Amino acid sequence: MKKIDVVLGLQWGDEGKGKVVDVLTPAYKVVARFQGGPNAGHSLQFDGESFVLHTVPSGIFREGSMNIIGNGVVVDPVILMDEIRQIEATGVDTTHKLKISRRAQLILPTHRMLDAASEAAKGKSKIGSTLKGIGPAYMDKTGRNGLRFGDVLCDDFLDRYNALKNKHLGMLSLYPGFEFDLSEYEAKWMQAVEDLKRFPFIDSEFEVNKYIDEGTPILAEGAQGSLLDIDFGSYPFVTSSNTLASGACTGLGVAPGKIGKVFGIFKAYCTRVGSGPFPTELFDETGEFLRREGHEFGATTGRPRRCGWLDLVALKYAVMMNGVTELIMMKSDILNSLDTIKVAVAYKRDGQTLDSYPYDGGVDVEPVYEDIKGWKSDICGIRDYEKLPKEFKDYVAYIERQTGCPVTIISVGPDRDAIIRR
Ligand code: IMO
Ligand code: MG
Nearest to 421 by CA among 405, 402, 407: 407
Summarize the confidence of residues 198-216 as an average pLDDT. Answer: 98
Q: What is the pLDDT of residues 230-278, one digit of tens each?
A: 999 999 999 999 999 999 999 999 999 999 999 999 999 999 999 999 9
- Residue 31's DSSP bridge partners are 67, 219
The angle at the Cα of 338, spanning 334 to 340, to the nearest 5 degrees, equals 125
d(CA 62, CA 69): 16
- List the residue whose alpha carbon is closest to atom 3 of ligand 1: 13
How many CA atoms does the CB half-sphere of 355 hold within 13 Å?
3
Measuring from atom 11 of ligand 1, which residue has the nearest CA? 129
35, 44, 138, 228: residue to mutate for ligand 1 pocket, most atoms within 8 A of CB = 228
Cα separation, 239 vs 106, whole angstroms? 17
Contact 7, 327 (CB under 8 A): no
> What is the average pLDDT score of the chain?
96
**Dist. CA 130 → ligand 1 center (Å):** 6
For residue range 155-196, what is the model confidence (pLDDT) as tens digits?
999 999 999 999 999 999 999 999 999 999 999 999 999 999
Whether residue 281 has pLDDT greater than 80: yes
- Arithmetic mean of pLDDT, 213-219: 97
> Which pLDDT score is estimated for 129?
95
Q: How far is CA 64 from CA 26, 28, 54, 212, in A?
A: 10, 10, 21, 17
Percent of the chain with pLDDT over 70: 100
| pLDDT average, residue stretch 46-69 | 92
176 vs 141, higher pLDDT: 141
Confirm if 23 and 62 have CB atoms less than 8 A apart.
no
Indicate the pLDDT class of residue 45, thresholds 50, 70 and 90.
Answer: confident
Residue-level pLDDT at 48: 83
Look at strands 270-272 and 306-308 and give their pairing: antiparallel
Instruction: Please tell me if the CB atom of residue 217 comes closer than 6 angstroms to any atom of ligand 1.
Output: no
The length of the chain, given as a count of residues: 422
Q: What is the pLDDT of residue 301?
A: 85
pLDDT at 1 over 80: no
State how far the alpha carbon of 39 is from the alpha carbons of 54, 80, 134, in Å.
7, 12, 7
Q: 219 and 267 in contact (C-beta within 8 Å)?
A: no
Concerning whether 378 is annotated as a catalytic residue, the answer is no
Measured in angstroms, how far is the CA atom of residue 420 from the centroid of ligand 2?
23
Question: What does the pLDDT average to over 29-36?
Answer: 98
Q: State if residue 37 touches ligand 1 by the CB under 6 angstroms criterion.
A: no
Residues 19 and 17: their CA atoms lie apart, in Å, by: 6
Specify the pTM. 0.97
Q: Separation of 236 CA from ligand 2 center, angstroms?
A: 18
Q: Where does 25-166 show beta strands of DSSP type E?
A: 30-33, 42-46, 49-53, 66-69, 74-75, 98-101, 105-106
Handedness of CA 136, 140, 143, 149 (dihedral sign): negative
Q: How many CA atoms lie within 13 A of 312 on its CB side?
A: 21
Q: Is the CB of 39 under 6 A from ligand 1?
A: yes
Crossing angle of helices 109-122 and 157-172, rounded to 10°: 20
Q: State the CB neighbour count (10 A cutoff) for residue 188.
A: 15
Nearest residue (by CA) to ligand 1, atom 19, is 13
pLDDT per position as a tens digit, 324-376: 999 999 999 999 999 999 999 999 999 999 999 999 999 999 999 999 999 99
What are the distances in angstroms from CA 42 to CA 28, 90, 215, 270, 395? Answer: 18, 17, 27, 17, 27
Q: Counting atoms of ligand 1 from 1, which one is nearest the CA of 41? A: 9
| Annotation marks residue 54 as catalytic | no
Average pLDDT over residues 139-143: 98
Distance (Å, whole) CA 55 – CA 40: 7
> Annotated catalytic residue: which of 22, 42, 311, 333?
42
Which residue from 37, 250, 234 is spatially nearest to 137, judged by alpha carbons? 37
Radius of gyration of the chain (CA): 21
Under a CB-based contact definition with an 8 Å cutoff, are residues 5 and 220 in contact? yes
Q: What percentage of the chain carries pLDDT values higher than 90?
A: 94
CA of 42 to the centre of ligand 2 (A): 6
* Amino acid in position 62: R
Over range 373-402, report the average pLDDT. 97
Amino acid at site 96: H
Omega of the bond prior to 26 within 30 degrees of 0, cis? no
pLDDT tens-digit profile of 104-130?
Answer: 999 999 999 999 999 999 999 999 999
Task: Indicate if ligand 1 lies below 6 Å from the C-beta of 55.
Answer: no
Per-residue pLDDT, 9: 98
Dist. CA 174 → ligand 2 center (Å): 31
Q: At what angle do helices 390-403 and 312-322 cross, to 10 degrees?
A: 60
| Mean pLDDT for the stretch of residues 72-87 | 98
- Take atom 16 of ligand 1 and give the residue whose Cα is closest: 239
Burial of 274 (0-12, 13-18, 19+ CB in 10 A): buried
Cα distance between residue 296 and residue 304, in whole Å? 6
Residue 47: predicted pLDDT: 83
CB 241 near ligand 1, within 6 Å: no
- CA 307 to CA 312: how far, in whole Å? 15
Q: Are 43 and 50 in contact (CB under 8 A)?
A: yes
